[in-house]
Amino acid sequence: SAVISQKPSRDICQRGTSLTIQCQVDSQVTMMFWYRQQPGQSLTLIATANQGSEATYESGFVIDKFPISRPNLTFSTLTVSNMSPEDSSIYLCGVRTGAAGDTQYFGPGTRLTVL
Amino acid sequence: EDQVTQSPEALRLQEGESSSLNCSYTVSGLRGLFWYRQDPGKGPEFLFTLYSAGEEKEKERLKATLTKKESFLHITAPKPEDSATYLCAVGNSNYQLIWGAGTKLIIKP
């Protein structure tokens, strides 16, 4: 498995501002994923972040709104840009280590509230 | 289209009352079926990965089984601390996880 930390754990932001969420893993991982989980719902994949290449975004998510960086094999950031109340959600970082096959492990999440 | 359906949406049990949660799926190129536990305000906690029909895995009071169309998470003699939302996901040929909506399990003492 992998130990994953996220910063911040929660934040309250004003409409129109941006927030960058960090994901740190205690070991090198092949694939990192960013998910959104809205209240009472399951996980929705935003994008897949691979080191050394552009992130791959899912339908309905665009780079201008959710820019992602993956500077090395243990770290990634997700920025939520020009926020609106509809962006209020839990944002989760997931990783696939390779050693555990296709299993993904998750960080504790970042709870974002946009006023 | 890849799809995962979990049932029931919510399940209330008395402590010690055994039951099962269901996860039915359709997927192109199954790359594993995954069970997670999620407590309120926390990230999903990995429980099991199953790859082949007939495969079973156990952990404490939980046992996961897999057929070609569905998976069951059996919970034996549950305790209040087993209360959580249980999520099922399948891996597809694009290395993505397709998630079910979850089953909220409440165990009353």
pLDDT tens digit sequence for A41-53: 889 999 999 888 8
The per-residue pLDDT for A44 is 94
The per-residue pLDDT for A99 is 63
Strand partners, A92: A35
CA neighbor of A35 nearest in space, from A44, A27, A48:
A44
pLDDT tens over chain A, length 115 residues: 789 999 999 999 999 999 999 999 999 988 899 999 998 888 999 999 988 888 999 999 999 999 999 999 999 999 999 999 999 999 999 998 766 678 899 999 999 999 9
A103, B31: Cβ pair inside 8 Å? no
The per-residue pLDDT for A78 is 97
The per-residue pLDDT for A2 is 86
Provide the mean pLDDT of chain B: 95
Per-residue CA distances from B57 to A25, A60, B92 (Å): 27, 36, 21
Cα of B44 to nearest chain A Cα, Å: 6
The per-residue pLDDT for A59 is 93
Cα of B52 to nearest chain A Cα, Å: 14
Q: Which of B2, B3, B45, B95 to mutate to test the interface with A (most CBs of A within 10 A)?
A: B95
A109, B100: Cβ pair inside 8 Å? no
Provide the mean pLDDT of chain A: 93
The per-residue pLDDT for A100 is 62
The alpha carbon dihedral of B36, B45, A66, A42 has a sign of positive
> Which chain A residue has its CA at the smallest distance from B95's CA?
A102
The per-residue pLDDT for A115 is 96
CB atoms within 10 A of CB A53: 9
pLDDT tens digit sequence for B16-44: 999 999 999 999 888 999 999 999 989 99
CA neighbor of B41 nearest in space, from A42, A39, A103, A25:
A39
Q: How far apart are CA B68 and CA B71, in angstroms?
A: 8
Per residue, what are the HEC states of B44-88? CEEEEEECCCCCEEEECCEEEEECCCEEEEEECCCCHHHCEEEEE
A109, B96: Cβ pair inside 8 Å? no
> Which chain A residue has its CA at the smallest distance from B92's CA?
A102
pLDDT tens digit sequence for B59-90: 999 999 999 999 999 999 999 999 999 999 99
Q: Which of B96, B98, B103 to mutate to test the interface with A (most CBs of A within 10 A)?
A: B96
Give the position of tokens 């090198």. A28
Which residues in chain A have Cβ-Cβ distances shorter than 8 Å to B102?
42
